Chain A
Amino acid sequence: MSFKEEKHGVVKITAAPHVRSAESTTRIMWSVVLSLLPVTAASIWFFGPSAVLVIGASVAGCLLTERLFGGQRNSISDGSAMITGLLLGLCLPAGFPLWMAFIGGVFGIGFGKIIFGGLGQNIFNPALLGRAFLQAAFPVAITTWPGPAPDWWVLRGDNFALPFMSPGAADAVTGATPLGNLKFGDDPVATPLLDLLLGTTSGSLGETSALLILLGGIYLAIRGHLNWHIPVSILVSVFAFSGVFYWLGLSPFSPLFMLFSGGLMLGAWYMATDMVTSPVTHTGCWVFGVSIGLLVVIIRIWGGLPEGVMYAILLMNALVPFINRATQPRKFGSPRGKPEPAAEKES
């Protein structure tokens, strides 16, 4: 008597283990999207319809590219392209022309991910690669920060500029970001910490409110969808190094200002923690995070740009394979720190 006869159904034969955790890649990805919603909502609150348009254009670029070139598997449903689109949109200025945001999404997914073989194969964070491309291609547009708008529904710049035309004169007044102001401003004044926390300041769409990013990040860390070692090591490292340089009088940025300004929070909680492009071991994550922190501080203080989070993360992304190789787990039964010689064999 076979199971089939007994059951009038199909018997399942699988390899052990026969039970699996409820965790799934798709669930991780979509809960990252979910945790970004407050930040997105805040960006719409601060920057009006421009935020919707810019984020929408970048998401559209990502999803379309994923759909067209992502292979046979319906890879949009895994949510990773959605995250890339959302993150890219959130690190662009409000007045950014939509076609550029769209191109950024196409580049991020196409050249940042699919060209390497799709999900899980890429070396660099696709959203950051998309932004780096935009930074190189449109350096003026990406550093044009809108000032306060008279009304919520006013566009914060020439969002509808046509491709390859120079953007029309911005209606709104442009204002420097807190970092740029303190570094290059004629009258350098540190933005109050409360404004940095709440996001009532100039900057990229989703980078302004450190508080909401922190909340989203902590939510993910508690759910186990984010490796907390990475953001913590980055923030500790930025705080420590900038503290030392501030104390030595080499830097105009106080450690707390460093922590809450610019793209650091978004970068530390959402970009650097991208599982695909970060190290696999906890030791590796600390090496990765501390290095990113140091690079951020160096670029911010001495670099030619006001902000360095993007390049710091991309640089360390490139080193992840080496970090992984150098931080392999200790072999069970061998003393800590001393890997058992591989040649030793039981006869």
Chain B
Amino acid sequence: MAARLKIPGLPSFRNGVHPPENKDLTSGIPSRRLPFPDEVILPLSQHIGRPAEALVKPGDRVERGDVIAKASGYVSSFVHATASGTVKSIEHWPHPAGAMQPSVRIDVDPHSTQLQRPRLVPHWDEVPAEQLSEEISKAGIVGLGGAAFPMHVKLRPPEDQPVDVLMVNGSECEPYLTSDHRTMLERPEHVHQGIRIVLRALGISRAVIGIEVNKPDAIEIMRETAPTDLDVRVQPLTVKYPQGAEKMLIKAVTGREVPSGKLPASVGALVQNVATTASVAQVFETGQPLIERIITVSGRGIRQPGNWVIPFGTKLSDVIAACGGFTEDASEIVFGGPMMGQSQASLDVPVLKATGGILVLSKSECKRQDILPCIRCGKCIDACPVFLNPQLMGALARVDRFEEMTENNLGDCMLCGCCSFVCPSNIPLSQLFAMSKIQLSRLKAA
């Protein structure tokens, strides 16, 4: 693949890759509401941090939007019932991350109107900033870009690192995914309202919305609906993976590089995904906590690709059935995008807060290729957006020299998968790095 010509004048970051976008499978399909399933499975851990603490017991009646588990610490999040019904059990259930996780099973009441209880929410413009972040925490809002980091934690940057710009991430650089794109097209006023609220919570007035130029309609609509009383700017960005990674977005928009091991706040920036800000707006508008989102169901292994509003906890099998089922050559199911998403082994896994996409890839889309020896071509070094040497680290990982990998800045690796993507010998570099990180944390714990 010859290197693509850079579009002059458009900001970006160095290195990165150009996987086939495949976004036209779903980018033109408006989101529709998935029918409520017979049961929802709500894992207590849908976010980074400590799992939530269950507040319900089997037999309890819950309405849509009720709190069923509370945050068990600062870095934790609330979980809400996403459909009205009866709590069936709290048990270990297959989790998209792999292991079995304690989850609340709710039998959905087929006769319910699925309306939430009226909830009193303060007007966002009249309460102190601290209360805003508390409301956001109570609504169970986490970063919807994929990492699911509890949002209220991000809203309290370290005292010595004041934030001066909110970076709103609409780049959606993962191939196939169009949920952020649809969110911007269908709910631009929510995205902007959310930005307004977050800006108030942070006590600043400047925001930049970064959108890759492969979404010209989104760029246009976000510009048209932008508020005039605030400094909110839409910044078109080069189409390149991983443009949506925090450090890459900040580098592209501000030219600042977040130093290794530091938070974006160290360069005065804070990044929020467009879907996250839209869900913040909803909390203060209708009192609806984070219980559903737009999810892209795509890939050539599913009969009817599309964008769906899906309540969290809906099982994968229900989603697949609603989308017409598998095609003949379906071969792999992925939660998330094809670059960083996770393969699923069971159709029982529930959709989570951070699930931006469900892909069913056909055989031709994810061919298995033989692994050959490294020929030191250096393509991985040219691809790595954080300037690591994956070639060297891959060689170290294969002989278990994990400490030396740390010296080579393994900690900076964000597992974006660029190195694995370009490797002509198909060496599973990012997989090796993910395993090395786990090994290292085990060594540290021991």
Contact = CB atoms under 8 A, between A and B. Distances in A.
Size bracket, chain A contacts: 35 or more
A224 B2 contact: yes
A334 B424 CA distance: 30
Contact of B326 (A6, A26, A119, A346): A6
Contacts of B20: 19
Given A24-B424, A329-B381, A17 B259 contact: no
Contacts of A12: 331-332, 343, 366, 368
A38 B333 CA distance: 46
A13 to B, nearest CB: 4
Given A223-B2, A224-B2, A329-B381, A118 B421 contact: no
Contact of B376 (A23, A275, A329, A330): A275
B260 A20 contact: no
A243 to B, nearest CB: 30
Contact of A23 (B3, B259, B347, B422): B422
Given A3-B346, A119-B372, A331-B412, A20 B420 contact: yes
B164 interface: no
A280 B257 CA distance: 24
A72 B127 CA distance: 71
B378 interface: yes
Contacts of B389: 280-281, 328-329
A331 B260 CA distance: 8
Interface in B181-230: none
A25 B369 CA distance: 11
A280 B347 contact: no
A11 interface: yes
B361 interface: yes
Contacts of B426: 20, 24
B260 to A, nearest CB: 5
Given A1-B317, A27-B424, A275-B376, A346 B262 contact: yes
Given A17-B421, A331-B409, A25 B366 contact: no
A118 B341 CA distance: 34
Given A12-B366, A118-B373, A333-B260, A17 B339 contact: yes
Contacts of A119: 372-373, 375
Interface string B322-352: 0000100011111010111111111110000
Interface in A8-40: 9, 11-28
A208 B338 CA distance: 48
Contacts of B342: 16
B415 interface: yes
A276 to B, nearest CB: 5
A345 B339 contact: no
Contacts of A279: 378
B277 interface: no
Given A18-B366, A118-B373, A25 B425 contact: yes
A15 B424 contact: no
A331 B434 CA distance: 19
A24 B343 contact: no
A197 to B, nearest CB: 27
A224 B422 CA distance: 12
Contacts of A227: 377-378
B373 A120 contact: yes
A298 B379 CA distance: 32
Given A12-B366, A28-B424, A120-B375, A3 B339 contact: no
A332 B372 contact: no
B73 interface: no
A78 B373 CA distance: 10
Interface string B307-325: 0000000000100100000
B269 to A, nearest CB: 13
B428 interface: yes
B5 interface: no
Interface residues of B, number: 75
A21 B17 contact: yes
B332 A14 contact: yes
B159 interface: no
A13 B430 contact: no
Nearest to A274: B375
A14 B388 contact: no
Interface string A216-233: 000000111001000000
Contacts of B247: 332-333
Contacts of B425: 24-25, 120
Contact of A25 (B259, B367, B424): B424
B247 to A, nearest CB: 7
A275 B407 contact: no
B157 interface: no
Contact of B377 (A20, A28, A329, A332): A28
B131 interface: no
A7 B428 contact: no
B365 interface: yes
Nearest to A29: B375
Contacts of A329: 381, 384, 387-389
B85 interface: no
19 contacts: A7-B326, A13-B345, A14-B343, A16-B338, A16-B417, A17-B420, A18-B339, A18-B341, A19-B361, A20-B369, A20-B421, A24-B426, A27-B424, A224-B1, A280-B377, A280-B389, A280-B392, A331-B387, A340-B259
Which 8 pairs from chain A and chain B are nearest by CB?
A17-B417, A333-B259, A15-B431, A120-B373, A280-B378, A332-B386, A329-B387, A12-B332
Interface of A: 1-3, 6-7, 9, 11-28, 78, 118-121, 222-224, 227, 275-276, 278-282, 324, 328-334, 340, 342, 345-346
